[in-house]
Each structure stands twice: as C-alpha cells, then as structure tokens.
Homo-oligomer: A and B are copies of this chain.
Amino acid sequence: MSAIEAVESDFDTLLRKQAQFINYVLKQLLSSRQINDHLKEAMSYTLFAPGKRIRSALVLWCCEVVSKPSAGINRNAQIAAAAIEMVHTYSLIHDDLPAIDNDDLRRGLPTCHKAFDEATAILTGDALLTLAFEILAKEIDDPAIAARLISELAEAAGPSGMVAGQMADLKAEGNTGNEEIVQYIHLNKTAKMFRCAAAMGAICGGAGKKEYECLCEYGLKLGLGFQIADDILDVTGSSEQLGKTAGKDARAAKCTYPAVVGMKKAKELERRLTDEALAALKPFDKKADILCQLAMALTERTK
C-alpha cells in the first residue's frame, strides 16, 4: 500500500466510523418518538440505506476544528448532524418521485416510492423534514443556538436554497442551459446545504465570526465542487458504483457542467473549487487536516 493509499484508507475508515456513529444517533432520536408505524418503517428504510453521510461528517468535523482540544463530546453537533441527514434524505425521497426525477434506484436500493408507494414517499419526506426541525428545537440545550441552527437549516433547505435549486433544475431540463443557470442550480441545490453543514458545526463549536466565515466558505466551495463531481460521475460511472441510476442527466437533458462547458472544463473547475475550499482552511492550519482530507477525497471519489 502506498503512503497516499494508506492516508486514503485511513480517511475512508474515519468517514465510515462517523457514518456509523450518526446512524446510532439517528436511531436513538427516532426510537425515542411516538411515530406512526408505517411512516417509521418508510422513514427508516431510506434514512438507513447506506449513505456516505458527508453532510453530517461536515457538521461534526467543523465543530471539532473550532472547539477547544479539551472539549468533550458535543451533543448539539450530533443533533445538528442528524437533522441535516434527515433533511438530505427527505430531499432525495422527493427528488426521486415520478413527477420529479422519476428514479428507481437510490443508495443501492429501490427508491422509497418503489419500495412503498408514492403517497407514502411524499408523506415520508414531509415527516423527515418536519422532524429535523423538531429535534433541533427540542434537543439542543441552548435556545439561542437552536434558533441559529434552525435559521441556517431552513434558509439553506427552503425556497431561497435547495428547493429553489430543484425547481430551477426541473425548469432547465431539455433547454439549452448556460453557465449562469447551472451555477444557480448547483449553488442552491447542493452548495448551500454543504455551507449550512459547516455553519452548523461552527455554531455548535462556538466559532468566532472569522472562523464561522472561513468554514462557511469552505463548505460552499466544497459543495460546488461536489456537485460538479457528481455530474461528472453521472457520465463516467456505472449505476452499480453510484448506487443510483447512472447516465440519467444526459437522458433527461439536465443542465450540468459537463453538458454546458464540456468535460475538460468541468474537471478543471472542480479542481479549482477544491483548491479554494482548501485555501479557506488555511487559518486553522493542522487542526483542519480532516477537512482537507475530506475535500481531497471528494475530488477523487468514484461513487
């Protein structure tokens, strides 16, 4: 094993451990609530399908970066990480619906509306979105922090963020897109949620204004790069590798970077965004090693 491979493998193990840990937190949060049985089954089905849990890792690691070395377990960051995974999962369930992206495969399993039915999938998405705000309001120990986290998450996920991106993505389908449109889509559909994950981690860790801003910048650039990588993988990857249907963007004539600026320029842009994400971490020096590794891993990912 080369030194680079060893680092990568260590990082993969770390990311997998974080994912397991967040699954444990999510299970605790779900099981402590009186939820309609059928809904709980459908919520768990998509929530616990094997996901990379990048957004929750971002929350936890950004929190660590700004916390004192002696700081113990940060329960608020765990709740925030669980909340963003709930919101991310809701967005996948709704995006996969027949009326939106009409996808059959997600996280290597039949999509929620395929495994259950459309009505269940719509309501399951609604349930996860609402529950995310409930746990932030109920489980965060300081209401001032809770209000800030909810404000960040709602703004990133709502009609000034992710939902707007999804709407624009649908509207752009089949049209001759341009770089401005694809930028709008990526910024709103993906990057604002990555920025939000970083912001929530920073808030939970008690970041100062400057630290908060650097982590937000890192999250935003990471998210933009991640979405370009996703678009590239949709062209170059297989469904088996991705755990979701490959080649769908081209078939649906989606407005993506490879489609609008070509594959070569898309790859260049992805690398530039990774560099910009890394540059935003400079003030943290070695403390942000794990976040640097995350940025590198996302650039080189194959799924």
Contacts and interface: CB of A to CB of B under 8 A. Distances in A.
A90 B137 CA distance: 20
Interface residues of A, number: 52
A134 to B, nearest CB: 4
Copies in the complex: 2
B131 A36 contact: no
Contacts of A117: 99
A177 to B, nearest CB: 16
A159 B134 CA distance: 10
B39 A167 contact: yes
Interface in A125-150: 125-127, 129-131, 133-134, 136-138, 140, 143-144, 146-148, 150
A168 interface: yes
A157 interface: yes
B33 A160 contact: yes
Interface in A184-232: 188
Interface string A34-56: 11101110010000000000000
A276 interface: no
A144 B141 CA distance: 11
A36 B130 contact: no
Nearest to A150: B137
A8 interface: no
A189 to B, nearest CB: 11
B158 A134 contact: yes
Contacts of A242: none
A129 B131 contact: no
Contacts of A100: 119, 122-123
Nearest to A128: B159
A115 to B, nearest CB: 15
Contact of A43 (B136, B159, B168): B159
A106 interface: no
Given A39-B159, A143-B143, 6 more contacts: A36-B159, A36-B168, A133-B133, A134-B150, A134-B151, A146-B146
Interface of A: 33-36, 38-40, 43, 90, 94, 97, 99-100, 117-120, 122-123, 125-127, 129-131, 133-134, 136-138, 140, 143-144, 146-148, 150-151, 154-155, 157-160, 163-164, 166-168, 170-171, 188
Closest 8 CB pairs of A and B: A130-B158, A134-B154, A99-B118, A36-B164, A127-B159, A137-B150, A143-B147, A137-B151
23 contacts: A34-B160, A35-B159, A36-B163, A36-B188, A39-B163, A39-B167, A99-B117, A100-B123, A120-B167, A122-B122, A123-B163, A123-B167, A127-B159, A127-B163, A127-B164, A129-B130, A130-B163, A133-B150, A134-B150, A134-B158, A137-B151, A143-B144, A146-B147
